Structure 1
Amino acid sequence: MGKSFREHLEQDEVLVCDGAMGTMLYSKGIYINRCFDELNLSNPAMVKDVHLDYLKSGADIIETNTFGANWFKLEPHGLEERLYEINFQGVKIAREAAGGKAFVAGSIGPLGRPIEPIGHLSQEKARQAFYDQAKAQFEGGVDLFILETFKDINEIHQALLAVKDVCDLPVIAQMAFTDEGKTAYGVSPEEVVRKLEGWGADVVGINCSTGPEGVWKAIQEMARVSDIPLSAQPNAGFPQLVQGRLLYLASPEYFAEYAKRFIQSGVRIVGGCCGTTPAHIRAIRTAVKALRPSRQLVEVKVVEVEEKVLQVKKPAEKSKLGEKLGKKFVVSIEMNPPRGPDFSKVVEGARRIKVAGVDAVNIPDGPRASARMSPLALATILESKVGIETILHYTCRDRNILG
């Protein structure tokens, strides 16, 4: 891409992020008891296909399939020793799919264990776990990092510090909120913005949560106090069990409507989370285009055209009727177009008046506001069959916007 991620932010542009990775993998037959992150190693083609589907739908940013690729979540699957490989390969797959036409964001999610002071896991160990994951993704070649679906402000703080320990790439820091408009530990949207902005996040936002409406309400509170760009990636509502499968029922059209509200509230990164698909992202892209139409450079060439002098003909040179004007008394008779397609009587009458010395036939347009043959058609018939000149009426009725 021509401009860096931070340049896009500085120019106040709206970028579209992708949607759910897990939902798409599940739809392809991967069971929820599998480690989705491990597919980077065992089935990279499937992961790449998901990325490509989102890119075709208009995503400017795609996230790596590494949301749960930390030591604590890989350990139950016996994959903790392959942490670096899974994260590095996840970036490689995304970069191949993007082909330089989209930003690749390294996805980092919560550790799955509460940290101090709520849990027993120390902040130092949490920071080290995030560091290991971020280092592998950085060396894989991400353009930025996205910390998402965090419920504990202290945990996302450690994740943000870990990323800063690794590099100076941009960071999108997103938290999840309950239907009460606060995090699971009672932190308000305003406080989240102030803290994450103070800790050095480039973008602060909300993902997952309770669907588009809940995210929009919390975003409005963030917008009142934020001095940096905001992001919104809601899920498709709460999943419903339909014929043995968990499905999200929020439609792409519903998402598109809220995408407009997000942008109007100051959001600059819009995407989806759990339950969203390429169809949702395509709808979001359409909404973004409607609010922020792309600029196209138009090349204007000045072509010199030789001026043509119009020869104005005198009435006498245009017709026999025009030749008579001003020289003799001209006589015209008005003849109405027939009510149907039979024009024989009108033609016969025109022949008689021509023999009697009448100079022209005056044909009105729609006399008495009744449906009749076109006066233009009748004029053509009389001039060709009788040889008498016609004066054609032409009104503007029903030929303008009022009609």
Structure 2
Amino acid sequence: MATAGGPSTKKGILERLDSGEVVIGDGGFLFTLEKRGYVKAGLWTPEAVVEHPNAVRQLHMEFLRAGSNVMQTFTFSASEDNMESKWEDINAAACDLAREVGAKGDALVAGGICQKSTYKHRKDEVRIKKIFRLQLEVFTRKNVDFVIAEYFEHAEEAVWAVEVLKETGKPVAATMCIGPEGDMNNVAPGACAVQLVKAGASIVGVNCRFGPTASLKTMKLMKEGLQAAGLTAHLMVQSLGFHTPDCGKGGFVDLPEYPFGMEPRVATRWDIQKYAREAYKLGVRFIGGCCGFEPYHIRAIAEELAPERGFLPPASEKHGSWGSGLDMHTKPWIRARARKEHWENLRPASGRPFCPSLSKPDA
């Protein structure tokens, strides 16, 4: 077993992806821990790793049992510009927690950095890269298995992040929080992917901001852009666990329901099984979730792709595939739901008779 800070003896992320293995990332720590009372919405800074480490540890464990084989450090926004003196302790503690839980299974640890609010006001490449490097120093000291630049809405800043992360010599993944319309500077998804690969990313894709349907559409455009440029890279998708067909270019943050009224939009486990299958058919092999994803969503990915992975996750011991288990129910009409056709074709009602099905995003 790998110990905190020690070298991993497991296959690396690129070895796994090169062999065609399906890698499942963990889910939405921020929204889940906020709902559980451990994180405050806003900058979503992850003080919980030092204030409530057992809560973070438990969520890592739930995602591991559900099928995740990547434990991403809970370090979103945990940088000098957002947290002053706390940021280094938080990054170190997050690495230790991810390594501790990852060692209980066949899981890798990924250190993650994200976009900086200062980019929009001052496009200071030197300053922003310095902030990235400070966070990266902790990941290097803790010897994470690979690094992720996630949640970037501007390709330029994402490229800066990749250029810094590749200095470690570890594999670099880069995901942008964009939809099919491209980044906030109108760089198309395909062009974003090309820039990230040329900067040194081995894995590219999208995370957050958009639901499964839009995220997969964006991935298709990224794949086409890479093919047109004669480039190759592994593909990664971590969509929202919410349905957001009505959001604009900025994604779900512009919906009036964000962040405290998103529950009516939560995807079912069957929606996520469909998402996992479509991602796989598209050629994506690093599949996970972001905000709104719960452990049962990750289990849905693991169950849908069990034939390809060759095994089911431990959490499936308490879940019947496509409703099996309901056939033991005392009510005959519920027993009749123990079949794939019922759940695969279900159009679930919201139960809110006076609510619109779609919203108008804020300007």
Normalised to the residue count of structure 2, the TM-score between the two structures is 0.73
**Residue equivalent to 2:238:** 233
Q: Whole-Å Cα distance in 1 between the matches of residues 161 and 10 of structure 2? A: 29
**Residue equivalent to 2:205:** 205
Deviation digits for residues 49-82 of structure 1 (CA, Å, limit 9, x no counterpart) = 11011001010101111011012222xxxxx122
Does 2:71 match 1:54?
no
**Residue equivalent to 1:93:** 97
List aligned pairs for 1:31-42, cutoff 5 A.
31-32=40-41, 36-42=45-51
Deviation digits for residues 146-204 of structure 1 (CA, Å, limit 9, x no counterpart) = 11110011111111122123x111111000113x5312221112101111111110100
- The equivalent position to 1:6 in structure 2, one of 4, 11, 14, is 14
Does 2:24 match 1:16?
yes
| Paired letter, 1:253 | W
List aligned pairs for 1:126-165, cutoff 5 A.
126-165=128-167
List aligned pairs for 1:291-330, cutoff 5 A.
291-293=308-310
Once the two structures are TM-superposed, the CA of residue 245 in structure 1 deviates from its matched residue by: 4.9
CA spacing shift, 1:33–1:215, aligned 2, 3 Å:
closer
Once the two structures are TM-superposed, the CA of residue 284 in structure 1 deviates from its matched residue by: 0.6
The sequence identity of aligned pairs, in percent, is 27
Does 2:82 match 1:81?
no
| Paired letter, 2:97 | I
Q: Whole-Å Cα distance in 2 between the matches of residues 142 and 186 of structure 1? A: 33
Q: How large is the Cα RMSD of the aligned pairs?
A: 2.1
**Residue equivalent to 2:355:** none
Determine helix, strand or coil for the equivalent of 2:119.
coil
List aligned pairs for 1:3-402, cutoff 5 A.
3-30=11-38, 31-32=40-41, 36-74=45-83, 80-99=84-103, 101=105, 102-114=107-119, 119-165=121-167, 167-178=168-179, 180-226=180-226, 227-237=232-242, 238=244, 241=257, 245-247=261-263, 248-293=265-310
CA spacing shift, 1:254–1:35, aligned 2, 3 Å:
closer
Determine helix, strand or coil for the equivalent of 2:47.
helix
**Residue equivalent to 1:323:** none
Higher-Rg member (1/2):
1
Once the two structures are TM-superposed, the CA of residue 45 in structure 1 deviates from its matched residue by: 1.0
Once the two structures are TM-superposed, the CA of residue 141 in structure 1 deviates from its matched residue by: 2.5
User: What are structure 2's unaligned runs of at least 5 residues?
Assistant: 1-8, 227-231, 245-251, 313-363
> Do the aligned partners of 1:173 and 1:196 also contact (CA within 8 Å) in 2?
yes
Normalised to the residue count of structure 1, the TM-score between the two structures is 0.66
Higher helix share: 2
Deviation digits for residues 202-243 of structure 1 (CA, Å, limit 9, x no counterpart) = 10011113200001111112222431110000002347859x
Q: Whole-Å Cα distance in 2 between the matches of residues 268 and 202 of structure 1? A: 13
CA spacing shift, 1:266–1:93, aligned 2, 3 Å:
same
Once the two structures are TM-superposed, the CA of residue 27 in structure 1 deviates from its matched residue by: 2.2
Once the two structures are TM-superposed, the CA of residue 294 in structure 1 deviates from its matched residue by: 5.2
Q: Whole-Å Cα distance in 2 between the matches of residues 152 and 259 of structure 1? A: 26
Determine helix, strand or coil for the equivalent of 2:130.
helix
Q: Whole-Å Cα distance in 1 between the matches of residues 111 and 172 of structure 2? A: 9
Q: Whole-Å Cα distance in 2 between the matches of residues 133 and 142 of structure 1? A: 12
| Paired letter, 1:287 | E
Determine helix, strand or coil for the equivalent of 1:224.
helix
CA spacing shift, 1:235–1:35, aligned 2, 3 Å:
closer
| Paired letter, 1:222 | M
Once the two structures are TM-superposed, the CA of residue 252 in structure 1 deviates from its matched residue by: 1.9
Deviation digits for residues 29-58 of structure 1 (CA, Å, limit 9, x no counterpart) = 133258542112111111111101100101
Once the two structures are TM-superposed, the CA of residue 293 in structure 1 deviates from its matched residue by: 3.5
| Paired letter, 2:160 | Q
**Residue equivalent to 1:370:** none
> Do the aligned partners of 1:131 and 1:159 also contact (CA within 8 Å) in 2?
no
